[in-house]
Amino acid sequence: MGIQAYLEHLQQQYKLEPYPDLKRRLKLLDSLRAMLTENESAITEAVCKDFGYRSPFETELAEIYPSLKAISHTKKQLSGWMESEKRGVSLWFKPARARIMYQPVGVVGIIVPWNYPLYLALGPLVSALAAGNRVMLKVSEFTPQFSLLFTRLCEQYLGPDWVKVVYGGPDVGAEFSGLAFDHLLFTGSGEIGKKVMKAASDNLTPVTLELGGKSPTIIDKSFPIKTATERLLFGKLLNGGQTCLAPDYAFISNEDIDQFIEKAKKVAKKFYPEWENKGYTSLASNKQVERYQYMLADAKAKGATIIPLWEADGASESHIKNGKATPLLIMDTTEDMQVRQQEIFGPMLPVVPYGDHQDVIRYINSQPRPLALYLFSNKQSVIKNYMLNTISGGVTLNDTILHVSQEELPFGGIGASGMGQYHGVEGFKTFSKAKSIFKQSRFAGTNLMYPPANKLSRLLLKLMKR
């Protein structure tokens, strides 16, 4: 059966039950939870094999935990989300009533990337099922072990009438993007995101694009440099830097540069004391290794200073050994370097000295809008300045990436970093049609405005226009 046939099957199932009740939706969420808890070891092992190496703890922390948290939060709140929202009506239309009903849109398509193959499948899947939809997912060809396992588990726990998983390369992805979904969510690069949006436009399919970009970090002089460095490197080195929300470059005040370098070396060694054997994630594929090597070579050729945060015995000049890349600070960068132009997606951190916050704000605003911004500061005036004068998909203050883990906060980019949002109630609403319903009263006075116009109707209209 081809993917068009899968879509048609799900569309037919949707027509048979266009508004699943709360009990049905909760049962689906329970099945998702069981799928995770009963297969946790198999999932972590599959992801580890796909990456070459990824710590099971890291998969549990960054993928399984937030997926379970999303399910729990959604189950707790779902009955309230499904209730109609009362809305007010104009004085001139009372005693009529108005409300909004949230209705499933139909069949939702989800395109899943390779870097967090579980969480970036389950996050939108939870929202789409909670909203009452059928779902098709296209999983990544770069995570074959996980993708095949996930396909089998969805079939086993959810059944083909609710969720269908397809697997394949760019050709399958292109075909998937062109299907007549009722909503399509894509997570990945901006380059591919443009192609997805173009393909979806042929069917006028609404899209949510979760892209990436160059998320800046700023460490203000008011904040302890040791704490800031630890929190920055935790976000940067998680998953070997292969995180769309990872800090992509850092602004450090001129007088703190030397101290930051010293602290960064100590922190990296403390976080990953046995990095060659365990704990530290590999670059996920040969394609990622080649991309990383190209960006590093470009920076070196154009005059950057490379500072390894630990020395890797036997590593090549690219600072890669057995697929694991040494964390690097990139100093003396210039605008023509790829590390300043492209999302890095690896453990390189360009460091940009600064003297004045206004210069930093001007620079950030001259760049494409980032998915996240990270500011370390204990001064409310500094925080307010950045919050009012920069725009990004989200913000974590005095830490990195943690805003994505808050189910009460919407997650999404803006401009080059994406469009639309999900997580929590915003995810439920993204995959729902907010249907406006106006109910006229038996005592309606609209008949007073029926044609032909007369003195009374003209007087009423004059009053209504005030």
Vertex 197: Cα angle to 127 and 216 (nearest 5): 75
* Measured distance CA(138)–CA(161) in Å, rounded: 16
Q: What is the distance between the alpha carbons of residues 104 and 389, in angstroms, rounded to a whole number?
A: 37
Q: How many CB atoms lie within 10 A of CB 174?
A: 14
Task: Check if 210 is active-site.
Answer: yes
Q: Length of the chain, please?
A: 466
Tokens of 165: 């998983």
DSSP assigned state of 422: B
What is the SS3 assignment for 221?
coil
CB contact at 8 A, 107 and 203: no
What is the spatial distance between Cα 230 and Cα 252, in angstroms, rounded to a whole number? 14
58, 63, 210, 407: the catalytic one is 210
Which residues 6+ apart lie within 8 Å of 122 measured at CB? 32, 36, 67, 70, 71
The question of whether 244 is a catalytic residue gets the answer yes
Q: Which of 26, 27, 53, 32 is nearest to 118 (CA)?
A: 32
List the catalytic residue out of 48, 63, 244, 343: 244
CA triple 438-441-445, angle to 5 deg: 105
Phi, psi at 213, each rounded to 5°: 115, -175
Q: What ranges make up the beta strands (E) of 94-154?
A: 97-104, 107-111, 134-139
Q: Token digits for 343?
A: 């999302």
Residues assigned a catalytic role: 210, 244
